[in-house]
Amino acid sequence: MLPPDLIIEDGTLLTMVEGERPIHHATVLIQGDKIADILSAGEKRPYFKGAEVLDAKDSIIMPGLVNAHGHTAMTLFRGLADDLPLKQWLFEKIFPAEAKYLNPETVYWGVLLGCIEMIASGTTTVSDGYFYQDATARAFQKAGLRALLAQGVIDFPAPGVPDPTQNLVVGKEFIERWANVSELIRPGLFCHSLTTCSDRTLQEAMKISEDFSLPLQLHLSETQEEVGEVIHRSGKRPVPHLDHLGLLSESLIGVHAVHLDDEEIEILARNKVGIVHCPQSNMKLASGMARVTEMLKKGLLLGLGTDGCASNNTLDLFKEMDTAAKLAKVSTLDPVSLGAATVLKMATVWGAKILGLEKETGTIEVGKKADILTVDLRKPHLAPLYHAFSTMVYSASGADVKDVIVNGRVLMKDRNFTGLDVEEVMAKVQEISEKIRTNATV
Ligand SMILES: [Zn+2]
């Protein structure tokens, strides 16, 4: 083989490949953007001159995390309006703030802040749905993360799309502009919800997505109120309504899916719809508890997302994993529900699959892209180590991540950023937040 460019040496490797146990004293060799070889204990690696070596002794090596749903630029509104009902929070606080303060410049800096936070907590792939997505894509390119970036589609005036009749034109043009720009960036569409997008908008958005072989994201049955509105309008619950419109397939990503009845879970499973669970957002907005255990039993594929920063208020997927596992247990009164290994799959391999990126990322396997994180275990709150999956889900936090590699490129080494100027980004966001702060009405 050709000599590697990067070596991650002597750690406990969680490949996240189905059925594989942790591999102790493993070394991962990376050539260019790909994983070239995995050496296990006892396999002496040859000396490679010139390769960068990351020491993973007493560390976990695992796939970078996949944040399967978010609105990255909403870091700008972190903590602006908390402890409110969803509808009031969205229509009285967030939508007005977005209308007033979002523009390509503010979105760019807000996204960079989110990217810094996500890299610092081990996320390497992000699914984002928002507005001014050209600015979002430029910021993701700068940050070096892998991303599915979707133009937000909503049937009323939106940031950057004042005329809602043009929402799909704007979306399609965004896809065309970014379809072949970078192997790390995949464009797409994100329909806000069944109550803010008409049936026709949803159907046309799906047609455009399928034409480009891209998934379509949709907030689905997030609140009881939303379900009631759909029933009132269509005479059907949301999932049968989507089925009636011909929108259920592997191309659809249903986000939240909190309020589903048994029949809806069956229909979603039958149509292989990917579901993204956002437990902290659902808890904070008191939307409810998604029936994760039942969905998994029916064979649905689930990923994990932080949702936007204004409804969480963090982008740390380690916290999200811990919450997902515990919420599943408390909602079923069953401590066996959603074990640590399963929740780690949601945050890695299953999330990648839902986004259509399973060939590239989500596991550590020879031939896949090198999207990897390490966690330093030499800390009191991570000792001793009995079960690596449990330690990662229940004890670790994003702050314990040491190194982050995306596409073979080291983005964070020993918690130092290699390409981003954190001070500059924080100063820019501080400037923007001062303007938001002075307007007390939002
Ligand atoms: Zn969302």
CA dist 257 → 100, 303, 314 (Å): 30, 12, 21
Kindly report, residue by residue over 310-353, the tens digit of the pLDDT. Answer: 989 999 999 999 999 999 999 999 999 999 999 999 999 999 99
CA of 220 to the centre of ligand 1 (A): 10
Question: What backbone torsions phi and psi does residue 190 show, to the nearest 5 degrees?
Answer: -135, 110
CA of 306 to the centre of ligand 1 (A): 8
The pTM of the full predicted model, rounded to 2 decimals, is: 0.97
Per-residue pLDDT, averaged over 240-244, amounts to: 98
CA of 233 to the centre of ligand 1 (A): 23
Q: Is 125 within 8 Å of 349 (Cβ atoms)?
A: no
- pLDDT at residue 56 in the model: 97
309's tokens: 């920063």
Three-state SS string over 15-74 comes to CCCCCCCCEEEEEEEEECCEEEEEECCCCCCCCCCCCEEEECCCEEEEECEEEEEECHHH
CA of 421 to the centre of ligand 1 (A): 28
CA of 256 to the centre of ligand 1 (A): 8
Determine the Cα–Cα distance for residues 275 and 350; give it in Å rounded to an integer. Answer: 10
CA of 308 to the centre of ligand 1 (A): 6
CA of 420 to the centre of ligand 1 (A): 26
- pLDDT above 70 for 441: no
Kindly report, residue by residue over 156-207, the tens digit of the pLDDT. Answer: 999 999 999 999 999 999 999 999 999 999 999 999 999 999 999 999 999 9
Kindly report, residue by residue over 267-323, the tens digit of the pLDDT. Answer: 999 999 999 999 999 999 999 999 999 999 999 999 999 999 998 999 999 999 999
CA of 366 to the centre of ligand 1 (A): 34
Q: Kindly state the DSSP code that residue 165 receives in the 8-state scheme.
A: G
CA of 312 to the centre of ligand 1 (A): 10
- pLDDT at residue 44 in the model: 75
44-50 contacts, C-beta under 8 A, 24 or more apart: 45/7, 45/9, 48/3, 48/4, 48/7, 49/3, 50/3
CA neighbours closer than 13 Å in the CB half-sphere of residue 7: 20
Residue with tokens 């796939």: 63
Closest C-alpha among 64, 65, 59 to residue 385 = 59
Asked if the peptide bond before residue 313 counts as cis, ω within 30 degrees of 0, the response is: yes
CA of 327 to the centre of ligand 1 (A): 19
